[in-house]
Structure 1
Amino acid sequence: MIQSPGGWRRKNASQKIFGTKPRIMYWLRHGVIIADETILNKSRSEKIKLVRWQYSGTEHGIVRGIGMLNMLWVDEEN
């Protein structure tokens, strides 16, 4: 269960938002910043400049892909 100092509670809130548990959560005075990184698999893309060799937990190995960081702000009022 995720709990904030202000008493806001929601069971598995981050899992419902991202589908997996986020790697980073920062509790701030009036809310939470949730950060989650993912790799967009681009194994068949040869000409995209952002594609790099990266480890993918989904693929359980190294793939050609684009690293993406998702950030979400959640406060007690919304």
Structure 2
Amino acid sequence: MPARSNCASRSCARAPTSRRWLLRARDLAGTDDLQFTQEFLAEMLGVKRTSVTLHARTLQQAGMIKYSRGPYSDHQS
């Protein structure tokens, strides 16, 4: 059950918050190409950078964002 205990962690609990935050940032920027670093997102969401990495990977696998070394791009529009 390690996966279940990991999902109960603070980073997993912040998943909806991070999605809302990214959508809000996209709306304010008026573009899907957001130039955020993982360090910046971690600071804004109050989590560790490694949590941002894991969450971004999950969102990318779900087809919600596309990211690489460099900017994040939202693919919901």
Q: TM-score range by the shorter chain?
A: under 0.3
Which has more radius of gyration? 1
Normalised to the residue count of structure 2, the TM-score between the two structures is 0.24
- Higher-strand-fraction structure: 1
- Higher-helix-fraction structure: 2
